[in-house]
A and B are shown apart, each in its own frame.
Chain A
Amino acid sequence: MLEAFKKPSFYIALILIIVFGIIGGLGQANIGSAQLVANGMDLMMWIGLGLAMAVIMSYAGYVSFGHSVFIGLGSFASAYLIAYKYSDYLIKVKMAHGGVLPAGTTIKFFIMALLLASVFAVVTAALVGYAVLRLRGAFFAIATIGLNYVVLYLVIFYLNNYIHSLEGLELGNPSMGLTNINFYWMHYVIFIITILVAYYVRVSKIGYGLAAIREDEDAAEIAGVDTFKYKLIAFIIAGWLASLWGVAKEFRGSFVATDDFNLLYSVIMILENAIGGIGSFTGPIIGSFVYYPLKWYTQTIAGVFALVILGILIILVVTFTPEGVVGILRRKYPRLRKYLE
């Protein structure tokens, strides 16, 4: 297993981990501006979500259009714990400590939220994957869109009938009393998990099997790949990773349970993979570095027209560079292949 992390293609992963570590360090030492820290967090999240999607879409060739459901499940898990189940307890602890939650409590609840999100995501992905991964191509994509709404309305039904909160769990939302840099390190932990898992899946035996499925599923089957099992593993991992980012979003934002079941997130994750190049680990990373600055500037300059620009970008990418940035680089510079896994 360690072999995988000694390949040259791991350099890019390592560089990212170091760079975002340095940004965090600058923020911690009050050298980096608040803006730098905020942008760093956003970028980590977009890279992380892009990689989560990559495991199923880019590695295995199955577009999970409703993948936002897993971000939503992560959000719901954290909101449930913090704004409902342990809300009173947290407020009491906060009072006892002069209005600030002790770091230990925050970390404990962060880990609890990650675990609960993981359970939700893995169970959902396993059940749903078992049912729909026998479908191919467009049918799978459509089924996952359905999944997103089914789970969203189940959550809303649960909230309305059992917790009596209409849209979410914003009531009793205890601010976790964290500074920006604390959020940054939370993102960073999830970022490292995502990078290591996504990279390992790509270069391991599973990654090769998934590549075979993506290229020609029948051929993979007659080459001895248990295609159904591999697809299911990929879908579970992709869902699990996305759910962790749902937790990060909630801790940083507010604990509203239903915010993140938004197909726009799926579109962006798909776009990042399409820009960067299908089939690679580096693809969605490059895709995020293209998408995020563009989004940031267009939002600043153009406001609501940012979405128009996003739409145009999708059309351009699909029309002119179906193989993506990594695809082009690999074709033009075969020597780069070993770095661009």
Chain B
Amino acid sequence: MAQAILEVQDLKSGYGETQILFGVSFRVEKGTITSILGPNGAGKSTTLWTIMSVVKPWGGSVKLEGQDVTYLPTHKKVHLGMILVPEGRRLWPELTVEENLRLAALIPRAREVAEQNLELVYNLFPRLKERRNQLAGTLSGGEQQMLAIARGLMSNPEILMLDEPSLGLAPKLVQEIAGIVKRLRDEENKTILLVEQNIHISLTISDYAYILENGKIALEGTPAELEANPRVKQAYLGL
């Protein structure tokens, strides 16, 4: 087995009294796109927020390159290169595009490579370069998603976690974003954890995928295996 960048084992968490995750386990290997797929309310976003300690883990473990980081505070995890691009983008709307980018590069691991990374993201997203002095809140939905991903890259990730990047975007833009995620793996050798409801598009670019249902991993496999699975066909692919 190749080296796992991120290994999550039996992760449990919830909000208040309500348990959401009932022991989630998966692993993400270096230089791959790994997807966590599933319906609304399955616990996909909660998994990411728990991995990042924004939601406190109740049990289980999160390992980054073999090192146990389960209970580290959020900013320490970020400093180690665990970078989350949250659902709904969560940009800083009153700051300009470039301020959003530069802010993300203030962490120690990103500071010295900030100029290279800025060049990289402007290369990937020429539209952001054109709009670099515009306030982030005035961008279109697609541009905001690009900025969110670009901001993640500015933090120089060890692993980049994308939460529903296709949400609310037109089909053409979804294709464009998927193309960029693929490029990040193929050309920049980035490791990506993709969380999506849009199973079709995710399976076309993933190396390996997990299906999350009711706070547990229900199925896993390569895209070909999952596409051949009758349950997946019926429940998710509408075939």
A interface with B by C-beta (< 8 Å): 205, 208-209, 211-212, 215-216, 218-219, 221-227, 279, 334
**Is there contact, CB below 8 Å, between A222 and B92?**
no
A-B residue pair count with CB separations less than 8 angstroms: 58
Q: In chain B, residues 95-139, which have Cβ atoms closer than 8 Å to a Cβ of chain A?
A: 95, 99, 102-104, 106-107, 133
Ordered by A's residue number, 6 sampled pairs between the chains whose C-beta atoms are within 8 Å are A222-B84, A223-B78, A224-B75, A224-B104, A226-B73, A227-B75
Main secondary structure of the interface of A (DSSP, over half): helix
Q: Which listed residue (A205, A219, A334) contacts B90, Cβ 8 A?
A: A219
Residue B12 is within 8 A (CB to CB) of chain A in the complex? no
Residue B93 is within 8 A (CB to CB) of chain A in the complex? yes
**Is there contact, CB below 8 Å, between A223 and B95?**
no
7 pairs of A and B residues whose beta carbons are closest in the complex: A224-B78, A215-B92, A224-B107, A219-B90, A226-B75, A221-B74, A222-B84
| Chain B residue with Cβ nearest A335 | B133
Query: What separation, in Å, do the CA atoms of A226 and B83 have in the docked complex?
Result: 15
Most chain B beta carbons < 10 A, residue from A209, A215, A222: A222
Query: What separation, in Å, do the CA atoms of A211 and B107 have in the docked complex?
Result: 15
**Is there contact, CB below 8 Å, between B94 and A279?**
yes
Query: What separation, in Å, do the CA atoms of A214 and B99 have in the docked complex?
Result: 14
**Is there contact, CB below 8 Å, between B155 and A219?**
no
**Is there contact, CB below 8 Å, between A215 and B104?**
no
**Is there contact, CB below 8 Å, between B95 and A222?**
no
Q: Which residues of B contact A221 (CB under 8 A)?
A: 54, 74-75
Q: A208-B106, A221-B54, A334-B133 are in contact. Are A215 and B75 (CB under 8 A)?
A: no
Q: Which residues of B contact A226 (CB under 8 A)?
A: 73, 75
Q: Which residues of B contact A225 (CB under 8 A)?
A: 75, 106
Q: A222-B74, A223-B78 are in contact. Are A211 and B104 (CB under 8 A)?
A: no
Query: What separation, in Å, do the CA atoms of A223 and B100 have in the docked complex?
Result: 10
**Is there contact, CB below 8 Å, between A208 and B103?**
yes
**Is there contact, CB below 8 Å, between A223 and B102?**
no
Residue B79 is within 8 A (CB to CB) of chain A in the complex? yes
